[in-house]
Structure 1
Amino acid sequence: MMDTRQLRTLVAITTHGTFARAAEVVNLTPSAVSQQVQALEQELAVLLFERKSRPPKLTPQGMQVLEMAQGILRLEEDTKTSLRGDRIAGTLMLGSVRSSALNLLPKAIVQMRDSYPLLKTNLRVSLSATLIADVASGRLDAAIVAEHVAIPPTLRWSPYMREPLWLIAPESTDAADAAQLLARSPFIRFRSPVPLANLIDTEISRLGIATNDVAEMDTIGSIVTCVRQGMGVSVVPHVALQEPEDRRLLRLPFGQPQVTRKIGIVERIVSPRAEIIARLHAVLAQLCGEHGVARDSPTGDTGA
């Protein structure tokens, strides 16, 4: 009969690459690992690994069983920590968009780890739509996404940051009206299938400005570097300007009125990790300083 030992062995094989390495991790002999895999295959009536490949490769059915195994093991871990009353423990499966939302997240993860040494964090970076689907299905506990996405009714999105967008230019640029600077200067466009790029493009169109595009880039960090080197001007969110050398850049409010965006945490409305996610939200809001948003704050007051 299938048990969690077999599932842990399966996860260990896929994590460490070979039956032999997995055997060391789960404290079994390689032959015992093989026997567990064969027993699991017989019970489920599927082939988990392609035996001819080296290292062993999961079959499509094996991928499904692996996903099931990971879910069962995490549920087991959640239940044990909950019964012990030790909720700030276990593994938090977290996702994040690739944009500048990542600037503060590593700091928050480190702070959470320092405060709760029994808590482990597994971070995955992807696009908003993928992350939201993974939270809804339970593959992720929570994810960092922008507000301009469709959130299913089974999920809750709580902003922790409301930040302004800035038109940035090299430090040698003469100060000018932002719209005029956009119209007359070489422009580095943020081109990416994410809400931030659409937000910037929409405001430029609303202002009726025809930009002189000299480059298109899909990462905010690369754009800031190019502007710092004098290549042109661009539009970036406030959190992207955290390095000491960024203070020398000319920055002007982007949009009329200045455009802002919200970043928040999406989670399932009913979640065994609700307490941990709430504490992560508080840490992120505090790190955002004046741009932090308190949890469930309708007015967007500072959460710091």
Structure 2
Amino acid sequence: MNAVNLKLLQTFLLVAEHGSFRRAAEIANRAPSAISMQIRDLEAQVGLRLFVRKAQRISLSPEGRRLFDRTKGAMDNVQSELSELSNIAARRRGQVQIGCAPTLAASYMGDILYNFARRYPDSVVSVREVPPTEGLELLQQQKVEFYIGPEVAGIKDFEFEALITDQLLACTPPQFDTGVDQISVTDLDKTPMILLDSKTALRLLVDQVTKRAGITLNVRYELQNATTAMNLVEAGLGVAILPEIVAAHGDKNRFRAIPLSDPMTERMIGIVTTRGYVKHNYSERLLAFIRAGFGGRGTANLGELDI
């Protein structure tokens, strides 16, 4: 038997619940003859009589009762799920849940979210500040709509939209500064180093660079937060390898940001989404603000954004 048209089942349930073709027709805003025809079509498909027709009323046949009992619960479950999805969609109209790498949350997102809230005061943005591996897990679990962070090699089922290129820099206080315009990690092998810990994408990149150079850095301080690393640099405790987006917010009178001369010391920063992600109204608007904020590497053009 071919798959039964769901509209025929809906009509069947309507007639069975009200015991009348005419009443079902009134509720469905259709002609009684059309309702009767749909029931005949359904009976023809299953090969059984579903209703016992009498002069003044109709009732379910034993086979019709069996179909009703099994179909009603299934259709109610479908309707319940559709209603729940509608409720989720309604809640999301003014709410956006996103993930963000900690270094970006500290350096970029504050100004972007401030301007977004000014433009859309009824919106609510929830930010999960997590490293890339956790960000991808949140995306898979649909706990965030998108993630702002560095590109991760070899990921599947995700799409990456590049925003900026981020250069690694040796943030060097005066007592460790030799005055060079560029520096290699091999020049830092004896220097007290301040690095982020191994859970961060930045540390993974630094470890790849040092492995290619065949050296081991003298790590004195291992931290989770890039802002804390910058504070230690400004205190003169050592040299930190940090991304440009972090170094740009430090006190330039207390350190110098020296580009690394080693190959592959750049990373792409962008927007990560799951494949097939469907954006809703406010998330589309927030993404526009994020693109503008990163594109201007600041907030100059955010106030002029008209969406």
**Please, what TM-score do these two structures have when normalized by structure 2?**
0.60
What SS does the aligned partner of 2:194 have? strand
Displacement of 1:199 in angstroms is 0.3
What is aligned with 2:234? 228
| Greater alpha carbon shift after TM alignment, 232-241 vs 131-140 | 131-140
Of residues 201, 204, 212 in structure 1, which corresponds to 2:210? 204
What SS does the aligned partner of 1:166 have? strand
Percent identity (aligned): 19
What SS does the aligned partner of 2:152 have? coil
In 1, Cα distance between equivalents of 2:183 and 2:250: 23
Q: What do the CA deviations read for 1:82-138 (whole angstroms, capped 9, x no partner)? A: xxxxxxx41001112223454211221111111222221111222323322222232
- Quickly say closer, same or farther: Cα 1:101–1:72, change in 2 above 3 A: farther
Displacement of 1:78 in angstroms is 2.5
In 2, Cα distance between equivalents of 1:199 and 1:149: 11
Q: Is the 2:171–2:242 Cα contact (8 Å) retained in structure 1? A: yes
Of residues 140, 165, 169 in structure 2, which corresponds to 1:166? 169
- Quickly say closer, same or farther: Cα 1:244–1:230, change in 2 above 3 A: closer
Aligned residue runs from structure 1 range 138-177, under 5 A: 138-153=142-157, 155-172=158-175, 173-176=177-180
Letter of the 1:268 partner, please give it.
T
Displacement of 1:217 in angstroms is 1.6
Letter of the 1:159 partner, please give it.
A
Letter of the 2:122 partner, please give it.
L
- Quickly say closer, same or farther: Cα 1:191–1:272, change in 2 above 3 A: same
In 2, Cα distance between equivalents of 1:222 and 1:97: 15
Displacement of 1:275 in angstroms is 5.0
Of residues 178, 183, 205 in structure 2, which corresponds to 1:178? 183
- Quickly say closer, same or farther: Cα 1:248–1:289, change in 2 above 3 A: farther
- Quickly say closer, same or farther: Cα 1:150–1:231, change in 2 above 3 A: same
Q: Is the 1:156–1:269 Cα contact (8 Å) retained in structure 2? A: yes
Q: Is the 1:101–1:263 Cα contact (8 Å) retained in structure 2? A: no
Of residues 244, 248, 253 in structure 2, which corresponds to 1:242? 248
Displacement of 1:207 in angstroms is 2.1
In 2, Cα distance between equivalents of 1:152 and 1:74: 27
Aligned residue runs from structure 1 range 1-304, under 5 A: 75-76=86-87, 78-79=89-90, 89-153=93-157, 155-172=158-175, 173-176=177-180, 178-179=183-184, 181-243=187-249, 245-246=251-252, 248-257=254-263, 259-274=265-280, 276-289=282-295
Letter of the 2:183 partner, please give it.
A
What is aligned with 1:18? none
Letter of the 2:117 partner, please give it.
R
In 2, Cα distance between equivalents of 1:161 and 1:186: 30
Q: What do the CA deviations read for 1:11-69 (whole angstroms, capped 9, x no partner)? A: xxxxxxxxxxxxxxxxxxxxxxxxxxxxxxxxxxxxxxxxxxxxxxxxxxxxxxxxxxx
Q: Is the 1:182–1:209 Cα contact (8 Å) retained in structure 2? A: no
Q: Is the 1:151–1:157 Cα contact (8 Å) retained in structure 2? A: no
Displacement of 1:79 in angstroms is 4.7
Q: Is the 2:196–2:203 Cα contact (8 Å) retained in structure 1? A: yes
* Number of corresponding residues: 215
In 2, Cα distance between equivalents of 1:99 and 1:169: 19
In 1, Cα distance between equivalents of 2:83 and 2:139: 16
Displacement of 1:187 in angstroms is 1.4
Displacement of 1:290 in angstroms is 6.2
In 2, Cα distance between equivalents of 1:74 and 1:92: 16
Aligned alpha-carbon RMSD (Å): 3.0
Q: Is the 1:168–1:227 Cα contact (8 Å) retained in structure 2? A: yes
Displacement of 1:197 in angstroms is 0.7
In 2, Cα distance between equivalents of 1:73 and 1:99: 36
- Quickly say closer, same or farther: Cα 1:124–1:220, change in 2 above 3 A: same
In 1, Cα distance between equivalents of 2:164 and 2:140: 22
- Quickly say closer, same or farther: Cα 1:139–1:199, change in 2 above 3 A: same
Displacement of 1:169 in angstroms is 0.6
What are the ranges of 5 or more consecutive residues in structure 2 without an aligned counterpart?
Answer: 1-81, 299-307
In 1, Cα distance between equivalents of 2:102 and 2:149: 9
| Greater alpha carbon shift after TM alignment, 190-199 vs 223-232 | 190-199
Compare CA radii of gyration and give the structure with the larger one: 2
What are the ranges of 5 or more consecutive residues in structure 1 without an aligned counterpart?
Answer: 1-70, 82-88, 293-304
**Please, what TM-score do these two structures have when normalized by structure 1?**
0.61
Letter of the 1:204 partner, please give it.
T
